[in-house]
Amino acid sequence: MGDTEQDAINALLAAGLPNEARAVEYLRARLGAMVEQYQAGQRFSYEQGRADERERCARIARLGCLVDPDGGSPTEDEAAMCNEISERIIGGQN
As a whole number of angstroms, the distance between CA 43 and CA 85 comes to 27
Q: What is the pLDDT of residue 85?
A: 85
Q: How many CB atoms lie within 10 A of CB 9?
A: 20
pLDDT tens-place string over residues 58-73: 888 878 777 777 777 7
Q: What pLDDT is attached to residue 33?
A: 92
Q: How long a stretch of residues is the chain?
A: 94
Q: CB of 78 within 8 A of CB of 61?
A: no
pTM value surpassing 0.75: no
Q: In degrees rounded to 5, what are phi and psi of residue 71?
A: 90, -5
pLDDT digits (tens, 9 = 90+) for 2-56: 588 888 899 999 999 999 999 999 998 999 999 999 999 999 999 999 989 888 8
At 91 the pLDDT is 80
pLDDT-derived band at 79 (thresholds 50, 70, 90) equals confident
**Integer distance in angstroms from the first to the last C-alpha of the chain?**
40
For the chain, the structural domain boundaries read 4-91
Phi first, then psi: what are they for 67, rounded to 5°? -90, 110
